[in-house]
A and B are shown apart, each in its own frame.
Chain A
Amino acid sequence: MSGPDIQDAITSAHRDEWARVIASLTKRFGDLDIAEEAAAEAFATAVEKWPADGVPPNPGGWLTTTANRKAIDRLRRESKRDDKHKEALVLTDDDPPEPLGAIEDERLRLIFTCCHPALAMETRMALTLRMVGGLTVPEIARAFLVQESAMGQRITRAKAKIKAARIPYRVPAAEDLPARVSGVLAVLFLVFNEGYLATGADTDPVRHDLTAEAIRLTRLIRALLPNDGEVAGLLALMLLTEARRTARISASGELITLGEQNRGAWDAALIAEGHRLVRERLAAGVAPGRYQILAAINAVHTSARDVRDTDWSQILALYDQLARLDSSAIVLLNRAIAVAELDGPEVALADVDRLEEKLAGYHAYHAARADLLRRQGRSEESRAAYDKAIELAGNTAETAYLTRRRDQLG
């Protein structure tokens, strides 16, 4: 195998096996820190050895075995200082496998641990992206728009709390599951979004590894809780979004907005599955939550064969419904975009401008303003807004799109 092929093999092993290696080591050693460090060492060893020795036939098995050895080496080194560790090591060496909880997926145990309610929501997301998604600390820091050092500390503190407070490594009992699921869904949605609109100058604009992982895990949760409307809603939302993925980036790596996408390139099977889930939730007759409403909005978008057929009044009605549950500035910004289609850019701009205080640091706010100003022929103001949006946008495809739109201004 040549150099680039080895690089691909390492990249795909990282994507496919990272969480599995972490989960397997966490189960065995009961310590996220040891698991993470040993997994990182195992991947570093792969980078060193695979180019010379070739890719092993079972990369996941090789990585898990190597990581296990690294973890044991570390514990042995530490056991020279501490007899209790040695004792722990001997005990864990022949541990019988623990019975699995309600969900038979190691990664879900890992997710429920990382998404424990005793951790702050931001911490849960960061920890899940690191331990389950395998993102690096700098990538996560960019996703959260915080300093790398601050993000590193947050993750370190979270692992320390899990250890010190003895947050269990397990899927919660069946009766506790519904209450714990909402936090997990929030995290999975964030993982999905980070994949769908990846931040950072050096990453691909779309990270299919992350969107696929978020969908896979949401499917697993849905299999377990088939009557949970929000699980179904989030899955539908992800599928309807993922269906448009390939139509969303041009050959030159530029973002193509919903209105300009080639709808023939959308994934019909994913759309059909998403629509089926949305219909199922409508038929259930239960008041929908946030994800179900977002899924319904996406169902309306993806039902239109041409952007001109979009039922904007239905979309606006859904945003109004959403705003009653969650009147955050971002929801109101998206609502304003629907308002622009129905009542024109001037009315929408007045709505958008009211959000300035809360969204001044958010690129989508400036991008929306730039578009509304452009549609009113206010070129100079539009250019300034595009400049601000470009400065704040972290996604390369989005930056390319915004730059072209700005440069097209007369």
Chain B
Amino acid sequence: MQYLVSVIDDKVNPGSDDRQPAISEFNERLIAEGYWVFAGGLADTESATVIDNRGGQAVFSDGPFVESKEYLAGVWVWETPDLDVALKLAAEASKVCDRKIEVRPFR
């Protein structure tokens, strides 16, 4: 079962910015234990561009599709046998990243 694991940061109250070594170490473990499928950090929401081509002509607009104080800062994809395993790892991930984590199954 694959889960999208989103790292949620908060513009008003951001997490600490020295987490990379801890995250790398955590990633090594995910790989070693067979849960790791994919991971990536995302650039600032300011770097996002939204494209809407539903109306015949593509409209490009600057910025993320939703303005909010919370935003997506990075993602993992994990392969685990069930939600309990994913939740346990996510609890560790939240500590490691010093950020909130959302776990959602793929369909």
Binding site for B on A (CB under 8 A): 116-118, 164-168, 172, 176
Contact = CB atoms under 8 A, between A and B. Distances in A.
B84 A172 contact: yes
B11 interface: no
A397 B31 CA distance: 62
Contacts of A164: 105, 107
A167 B1 CA distance: 11
Interface residues of B, number: 10
B49 to A, nearest CB: 31
B105 A168 contact: no
Contacts, number: 24
B93 to A, nearest CB: 16
Contacts of B105: 164-166
Contacts of B87: 117-118
A337 B107 CA distance: 53
B82 A166 contact: yes
Contacts of A165: 83, 103-105
Contacts of B83: 116, 118, 165-168
Nearest to B82: A168
Interface of B: 1, 81-84, 87, 103-105, 107
Contact residues of A: prevailing secondary structure: loop
Contacts of A166: 1, 81-83, 105
A172 B82 CA distance: 12
Nearest to B3: A165
Contacts of A168: 81-84
A105 B103 CA distance: 30
Contacts of B81: 166, 168
Nearest to B80: A166
Nearest to B106: A164
A14 B81 CA distance: 34
Given A165-B83, A165-B105, A167-B84, 4 more contacts: A117-B87, A164-B105, A166-B1, A166-B105
A294 B82 CA distance: 37
Contacts of A117: 87
Nearest to A162: B83
24 contacts: A116-B83, A117-B87, A118-B83, A118-B87, A164-B105, A164-B107, A165-B83, A165-B103, A165-B104, A165-B105, A166-B1, A166-B81, A166-B82, A166-B83, A166-B105, A167-B82, A167-B83, A167-B84, A168-B81, A168-B82, A168-B83, A168-B84, A172-B84, A176-B84
Contacts of A167: 82-84
Contacts of B84: 167-168, 172, 176
Nearest to B1: A166
